[in-house]
Amino acid sequence: MNLVTRLDFDGIVSAVMIHEMEPVSGINFADPKTLEEGGLLDILERGDIIAHLPIHPDAGIWFHNHDTSHIDQRLLEKVKGKFGVAPSTAHQVYEYYKSPKLERYVPLVNVADKIGTANLTEEDILAPKDWMMVSYTLDPRFSQDHSFGMLIMDGIKGGKSAAEVLTIPQVARRVELYKKDEERFLEELKKASKVMGNVIITDFRELYQAPRGNRFRVFVEYPDGNVHLRIEAMPGFRTKVSVSRSIINHTCNVHIGHLMEEYGGGGMEGAGTCMVGKKAADEKIVEIVKKLKG
């Protein structure tokens, strides 16, 4: 059977553990949108495993860590696995199998949990190291590089430490790129950001392409804000609005996913996105900011 997962740290750790426990013949990486739009129909076969991605009717085993109350229960009854709210998908995989074979991956599951719950320290953001640094090299904004994902998987399965994985030439280059991106990101972040009450607003619409960088950095730079609203210009006269609660100032009580649903988007309790038309963007952003202040 095949395994389809997301190319990020949670997806990689989940895939490594599933591969230990199931007769996986092939591994594919995908993003949620591709899967939902049927972009993997030529790869997926009935009974395949899906992890850290939305459910698909052909899935035989499914692992996910988000709320499933909106999913047809008849579909959930047909799949094995473990799904529902949890710190990470890797956490679900580990709990499902409860095998001594997976005990050596507990430190990585803990890192996936930490990232999944945004329970990060300033050091994790400003000076990441070990598996946290490895996780940043898997940022999908670098590229959806199948070979790089397999490289990290092979290192983990082979028992390499985080320090050893970081010395792999391809990984070391990603680390260097990450550090360079962080310098530019911080510069552009300060130019494009302002604070309105409790809301940090970053408007990257004037840039051809928003800079890559650690999405949590804004909360270190603006600790008085408790929620961040990021604006980006997208192709096709659309504007992307991304909202996330601060991981430092925990005083925002707005359910971000529900708020984004009001504007045709979605998300989780602490983060979400929506797309709005370019002409109506300013008006919609004012409305969203007002609700975030409320």
Q: What is the pLDDT of residue 37?
A: 64
The whole model's pTM is what? Answer: 0.86
User: Which tens digits make up the pLDDT trace of 182-191?
Assistant: 999 999 999 9
> Looking at the predicted structure, is the pLDDT value of residue 41 above 60?
no
Adjacency order of strands within the sheet including 271-277: 193-196, 199-203, 227-234, 238-245, 271-277, 266-267
Q: What share of the chain is helix, strand, coil (3-state, %, to 5)?
A: 45, 20, 40
User: Which tens digits make up the pLDDT trace of 105-124?
Assistant: 999 999 999 999 888 999 99
Residue type, 118: A
Q: What is the pLDDT of residue 147?
A: 92
CA distances from 29 to 60, 140, 211 (A): 17, 11, 24
Q: What is the pLDDT of residue 139?
A: 78
> Looking at the predicted structure, is the pLDDT value of residue 88 above 70?
yes
273: which strand partners? 242, 266
Structure-model confidence comparison of residues 103 and 266, the more confident one:
103
Average pLDDT, the chain: 91
Closest of 3, 95, 92 to residue 44, by C-alpha: 3
Q: What is the pLDDT of residue 35?
A: 66
Extract the tokens encoding 258.
């529900």
User: Which tens digits make up the pLDDT trace of 227-256?
Assistant: 999 999 998 899 999 999 999 999 999 999
Rounded Cα distance between 52 and 83, Å, is: 10
Extract the tokens encoding 266.
């979605």
User: Which tens digits make up the pLDDT trace of 134-177?
Assistant: 999 997 766 668 899 999 999 999 999 999 999 999 999 999 99
Q: What is the pLDDT of residue 244?
A: 95
Rounded Cα distance between 120 and 111, Å, is: 10
